[in-house]
Structure 1
């Protein structure tokens, strides 16, 4: 059975070279003070990044299952500016900022309306099943090329 399009989860969308991924804050995302627990911003960014790659035709699951490798987070830098709260509608904007043979850098901005709440810069390395860095598939590098952020 194939699921109808309207029942499929959102994968966000590209607008030019930006991937835009909406997120709603649920009760489980908050702490006792009623604001989003800091680690949950990493989850939002990870979901946005995964869907951005999927929309760019990067099949991470197929690469992993074929024994080629997978992405591993090498570095992550987060900057908090303002809290999000229960029922807020957030937007995670993701931009590819650098692509190298075995790694990709992605900048994430979590926003509520026009207010920036959190920014994050992640570097993911493509690693073989042994854990050693290895060159990403050429088709991935080709898919990334038109998506690299050239703005400021």
Structure 2
């Protein structure tokens, strides 16, 4: 699993879906449901398969971060799903380019701290993840979940 900031174009894909969602809990929940539904349709696996669960977990974290840390009042986030030859790519574009994700600490957080472990999960379940500033107003955080062999 690797994390990186990319400045080049995303990999080629065979299918793509993009949608704007509200930066609310409801928008984050819809993003998770849509990502799992699209993954299972494109890949042909059931919703309760391990890869579908990985997609749900990664999507939940990226959408939650966009909602909590990447939104401005009245601004939505954009979800883009891509079917790649080697996997399934999730991209979440938000309106706070100055708030870039940091590589998660390798030390576990104190049990008393209620948050701060999400990117550890992304790093564990995604083959690759990173972020990209595309313009002065947005940033895209992305993760790729491996396609089952």
- Which structure has greater strand proportion? 1
Indicate the structure whose relative CO is greater, using CA pairs within 8 Å and at least 6 residues apart: 2
TM-score, normalised with respect to structure 2: 0.35
TM-score, normalised with respect to structure 1: 0.35
